[in-house]
Amino acid sequence: MENRKEGLSFVFGLMVGTLVGASVAIILAPQSGERTREVLRDRALEYKERAADFATELREDAHELLEKSRNYYKQRVSPPVSFPEPPPATEA
């Protein structure tokens, strides 16, 4: 579980770093302010869509993992075995 958290943190950091790097590159590019704002807006919308898709996929994966875990638990953990009551002892 710890490795999965580290992996998600890395992916999130990579996405944020990419966004920041692209923004800085666009701001420093030699083009008009209006064009730069347009490019920034387009990129922001694109990254917003990508983040929403990623979140949806992550949610679906988590739901699938939860279902698999439930099924595994149901298969592995059986209800307690009940034994029939012994017949009453007869006195001879």
- What is the per-residue pLDDT for 80? 60
| pLDDT averaged over 10-residue windows placed end to end, the chain, 92 residues | 72 85 77 80 90 90 90 75 70 61
Is 41 among the domain residues? yes
Domain boundaries, position 39: 2-62
pLDDT at residue number 46: 92
pTM, whole model, 2 decimals? 0.47
Look at residue 92 in the predicted model and tell me its pLDDT.
Answer: 56
- Spatial contact of 23 and 40, defined as CB atoms under 8 Å apart: yes
29 domain residue, yes or no: yes
Do residues 39 and 25 make contact, with C-beta atoms less than 8 angstroms apart? no
Q: How many domains does the chain have?
A: 1
User: Does residue 10 belong to any structural domain of this protein?
Assistant: yes
Does residue 70 sit within a domain? no
For residue 64, the model assigns a pLDDT of 92
Q: What is the CA radius of gyration of the chain?
A: 29
